[in-house]
Amino acid sequence: MIKSPTIQILLVAAVVVVAASLLPLWVSGYVLGLLTIAYYFGVFSMAWDLLFGFAGEVNFGPTFLIGTGAYTAGILNNVYFLPIWVCLIAGTFAAVVGGLVLALPALRLRGPYFGLTTLVAVLILQNFIVVDAGLTGGEIGLTVPDVLTISAVANYQIALWFMAASGVILFAFSRSPVGLILQASGQDAVQAGALGFNVTKHKLAAFIISALFSGLAGSLLVFYFGSASIGTLVDVTVGVQVIIAAVLGGRRTILGAVLGAVFLIAMSELLRPLGDLSNFTVFTLALIVVLLFPDGFFGLLTRAKESVWP
Amino acid sequence: MSASHVLQVEGLFKRFGGLVAVKNISLNIGRGEILGLIGPNGSGKSTVMKLIMGIERPDAGSVRIADEEVAGLPSYKIARKGVGIVFQHSRPLHRQTVIENIKLALLPDRLTRLIVDPQTDKRARAIAARVGLSAVLDRLPSTLPFADLRKIEIAKAIARDPQVLLIDEPFAGLTQKETAAFSDLIAELRDDGHAILLVDHNVKSVARLVDRVLAMYVGEPIAEGSADEVMSNDTVRRVYLGGSIEATARPESSFADTERPFLEVDRVSVHYGKAQALEDVSIHIHVGEFVSVVGLNGAGKTTLFNAISGLVPYAGEIRQSGRPLRSVSAARVARNGIVQAPEGRELFVYMTVRENLDLGAHHLSPGEMSAQIDWLFELFPILRSRQNQAAGTLSGGEQQMLTIARALMMKPKLLILDEPTLGLAPIILEQISRILERLRQTTSISVLLGEQNVTFALPHADRVYVLEHARIIWQGSPNRFAAEAGQGYL
């Protein structure tokens, strides 16, 4: 299913990533720090788009997967002093297992109930973290002894290339035959079944892949921040930001989600002088973009091209 | 016999709650054979198809594909045993081209297949050529005419070369020319050796193609044989055309408003995207008159009623007592006395019967309201005893009565009934039929009834219109119907 628009999109994306890798030559450490966070959020949003845009399932709880991964990694490092790479693997694994435990029963439900289940999962995780404060740091947060590196540039490059690699894998998956089956399952499960596809199997696979990238990105973010807290990784509003970034970037585009994440973080920063009004303004802007351009930024960028294609 | 029959269905049963949708259906189809499964709306024929495909699980009975039992398996497994289905509504992937949509159907159900087998492209092109899509391979489905969308569905269904092919309403929405081309394609597929089940409303539309026909009515088989045999079968004729009609029709000249009828629909046309749903339709209804519009599924009845109710935009003119209705809102139309009891019933299922009725009367004064309720409870005694029950817990027939009663609560001048018989048992139909007759005898309410069940539509009608493929093709008194227009309804 490799066709020229796909190649073109990947080429453009490659140029953008290479250009972004040269940014440290010009911009301040502060801006690099913001972009580092934006790139991790980009991965969250791409993983979410795989579920929503392709499998057709609205996961209102992306932070359940992110938080499970992040806190598992953080706790292992904080309590057992395991090396970072072990914590990263364990965090990712925990997110996948958590995703499976959630998705196996939830995928039997139809319509809005899947989304509600995922939302409740976030609340359960959040409560668990607060209640078991001895292990998790509770509402104050969890501090980890190790960090990836203290160099802002190195952190930036790690985030950028992690995001690029995740993007390539998720994008390739979405354009592969399996991605096509997934899209058919999401759009019309009855018909997909009648064509001989085991819909549950494909949706479960999508959920696992989404959980894998969410968990890994969440774990990495802990070792970038040097801490984990509900407010930055688990809270429902964090999940809403992930979702808004994906929708802003463009549903079913995977790569668009990164644009959305960078936009959201950049806007919150630019509008910081507005104080309490800044979030209000960002979300209002997001609302307008979604209402006027339901295909998102990516849709706007590729529309001109598609209309030329017969 | 097992050697020659690819598909063998025996003693199939399916219940939905209290409703027995399929009762003891058995059928066999051999290679290179076409069986027509026909029945009016709600007869359970589509359910039979879903049971074979595994979209619904049968409660009892056996489905065998090439002597292998598949009843109860999920549909993806049944699909791999060699069954393909062409759904009535085409739902292609809109971001993918025609060829990609066909390739989808060729993909193996494996998570590890991340790169397309080069053979797939060749096979997809061959299938596209087979169904006549070669010219539009790289187009997006949204840019294609309806007939091509149907071809995509066929292409997907035959992609895995199924032994058994199920086709739901093969010709719905197609023009005559497209229908002919589609028939030829189905005939070719039969000659290729597929065993084909065609599901449709009436024998006539599939008569040229089928080897045998099985007719169903309210879940049960009523006749089986050649198309001619089934069409001349007494039970089938009674189900589709009714018995002899006791002509009670009142002539048009007997109505007071002969000069300017209460409602005039004047050369109205409606388009849904590319599909023409109504073409130049003109009808009129006098005060107190009972008019039936007879037509099969998809003929345009609901569209006509929705145009009158102000729910869809149209070309042409609709006038109430001489005044154009075009710029009048749907809510206003209803308050002015044109009230529709919709096909889907659209009751508030969690509210009680009484609350549903009260909602219909929110603009009446309390005195008027209780008088209206008393009259309705007298008309529908069963609703009185069910007052405090949630509407969703009523039987289908009771729900239909409630729908009509709620419409009557609004004190309509014209009551529009869209397919009130849908899915109801004959005994219920008789009750509703008696109520309609009382309305006709004792009130000045005009009734516009849309039906494909001719038996139900004719007895009370003063005049009948026949709607076919978006056009009025016949009008006259009910006692002339069987002789002049009845053949199309078998």
Nearest to A184 among B84, B104, B111 (CB): B104
Same-domain pairing of B101 and B145: yes
pLDDT of A310: 34
Structural domain contains residue B149:
yes
β-pair partners for B63: B9
Smallest Cα distance from B286 to chain A, Å = 46
Whether this model's pTM surpasses 0.80: no
Q: pLDDT for B354-370, tens place per residue?
A: 998 888 887 788 888 88
Least confident of A165-169, B39-43, B128-132: B39-43
One domain, residues B285 and B177 = no
Which of B241, B272, B288 is the last residue before a domain boundary? Answer: B241
Measured between alpha carbons, how far is B304 from B312 in angstroms, rounded to an integer?
Answer: 9
Token pair 């006038």 is found at: B319
Question: Does residue B379 have a pLDDT over 50?
Answer: yes
Residues of B in contact with A303 (CB under 8 A): none
Check whether B118 has a pLDDT greater than 90: no
**Partner residue facing B76 (CB), from A183, A187, A193:** A193
The residue behind tokens 């096979």 is B123
- List chain A domain ranges: 4-18+30-303
In a domain, B246, yes or no: no
Measured between CA atoms, how close is A289 to chain B, in angstroms?
22
pLDDT above 90: percentage of residues in chain B: 41
Contact A194 B109 (CB under 8 A): no
Q: How confident is the model at residue B146 (pLDDT cuts 50, 70, 90)?
A: confident
- Cβ-Cβ contacts under 8 Å, A193 against chain B: 54-55, 74-76, 79
Same domain as B103, residue B79: yes
Nearest Cα residue in chain B from A200: B76
- Cα B135 to Cα A128, A261, B125, B138: the distances in Å are 60, 42, 11, 8
Q: What is the mean pLDDT of residues B159-168?
A: 92
Is B247 among the domain residues? no
Angle in degrees, 0-180, between the axes of helices B118-131 and B98-106, rounded to the nearest 10: 120
What is the number of domains present in chain B?
2
Average the pLDDT over each of A305-309, B155-159, B241-245 and give the range with the smallest value: A305-309
Which residue, B394, B424, B375, B37, is CA-closest to B205?
A: B37
Does B54 contact A at CB distance below 8 Å? yes
In this structure, what CATH number is given to the domain that contains residue B341?
Answer: 3.40.50.300
With an 8 Å Cβ cutoff, is B115 touching chain A? yes
Residue predicted with more confidence, B300 or A215: A215
Residues B71 and B205 in one domain: yes
Q: Which residues of B touch A189 (CB under 8 A)?
A: none
CA B180 to each of CA A303, B37, B129, B177, B187: distance values in angstroms, whole numbers, following the listed order: 38, 20, 18, 5, 11
Quick one: average pLDDT of B80-93?
88
Q: How far is B122 from chain A (nearest CA, A)?
A: 13
Is the same domain home to B285 and B312?
yes
Same domain, residue pair B472 and B411: yes
Rounded to whole angstroms, the maximal C-alpha distance in chain A is 61
Closest residue of chain A to B118, computed from CA coordinates: A1
Q: CB B111 to CB A201 under 8 A? A: yes
> How do beta strands B34-38 and B195-200 pair?
parallel
Q: Does B39 touch chain A (CB under 8 A)?
A: no
Amino acid at A144: V
Tell me the per-residue pLDDT of B433-443, one tens digit each, with 9 for 90 and over: 888 888 888 88
**Pairwise CA distance, residues B490 & A172, whole Å:** 54
| Percent composition of chain A: helix, strand, coil (DSSP 3-state, to 5) | 80, 0, 20
> Which amino acid belongs to residue B29?
I
Does residue B423 carry a pLDDT above 90? Answer: no
Contacts of A198 in chain B (CB under 8 A): 74, 76, 109
The answer to whether residue B53 scores a pLDDT higher than 90 is yes
Instruction: Assess whether B379 and B443 both reside in one domain.
Output: yes
B198 lies in the same domain as B268: no
Query: Which whole number is the average pLDDT over B422-435?
Result: 78
Verify whether the Cβ–Cβ distance B93 to A310 is below 8 Å: no
Domain termination residue (choose one: B191, B208, B241): B241
φ, ψ (nearest 5 deg) of residue B136? -120, 25
Instruction: State mean pLDDT over B103-122.
Output: 85
Please tell me the predicted confidence (pLDDT) of residue A87: 95
Q: Give the separation between CA B78 and CA B65, rounded to whole angstroms.
A: 9
Q: Which residues of chain A have pLDDT under 70?
A: 1-4, 110-111, 303-310
- Facing residue for A178 by CB, picked from B55, B91, B111: B111
**Domain end call among B199, B217, B241:** B241
Mean pLDDT (chain B) is 87
Mark whether B237 and B256 lie in a shared domain. no
Does the ipTM surpass 0.90?
Answer: no
User: Can you tell me the distance from the alpha carbon of B194 to that of B209, in angstroms, rounded to the nearest whole number?
Assistant: 14
pLDDT by residue (tens digit) across B20-30? 789 999 999 99
Give me the pLDDT at residue B478, please: 85
Q: Is B158 on the interface with A (CB under 8 A)?
A: no
Query: Looking at residue B246, what is its pLDDT?
Result: 56
Give the chain B residue nearest A180 (alpha carbons): B104
Does B279 score more than 60 pLDDT?
A: yes
Cα–Cα nearest to B152, from B166, B169, B139: B139
Most confident of the ranges A195-199, B327-331, B384-388: A195-199
What pLDDT score was predicted for residue B77? 94
Q: What range defines the domain where residue B346 resides?
A: 252-489
Residue B440 confidence (pLDDT): 87
Strand order in the sheet with B164-168: B83-86, B164-168, B195-200, B34-38, B212-217, B220-225
Mean per-residue pLDDT for B15-37? 88
Higher pLDDT, B340 or B422: B340
Scanning the structure block, which residue is given the tokens 């002969």? Answer: B258
The pLDDT of residue B243 is 54
Which residues, in sequence order, are bridge partners of residue B64? B8, B69
Task: Check A187 against B105: CB less than 8 A apart.
Answer: no
Of the partner residues A178, A187, A196, the one whose CB lies closest to the CB of residue B76: A196
Q: In this predicted structure, what is the pLDDT of residue A181?
A: 92
Q: Report which of residues B233 and A156 the model is more confident about.
A: A156
Cα angle B114, B119, B125; round to 5: 110
Nearest residue on chain B to A190, judged by CA atoms?
Answer: B55
Chain A residues whose CB is inside 8 A of the B74 CB are: 193, 198
Question: B44-81 burial, b for 16+ CB within 10 Å, e for fewer?
Answer: bbbbbbbbbbbbbebeebebbbbeeebbebebbbbbbb
Query: Among residues B90, B98, B280, which one has the least CA distance to residue B172?
Result: B90
Kindly state whether residues B340 and B224 are assigned to the same domain: no
What is the CATH code of the structural domain delimited by A4-18+30-303? 1.10.3470
Instruction: Give the chain B residue whose CA is nearest to the CA of A175.
Output: B114
- Kindly determine whether residue B53 and residue A197, on different chains, have CB atoms separated by under 8 Å: no
| CA A279, chain centre distance (Å) | 20
The answer to whether position B482 is within a domain reads: yes
CB spacing of A205 vs B111 below 8 angstroms: yes
Please state the rounded mean pLDDT for residues B421-436.
79
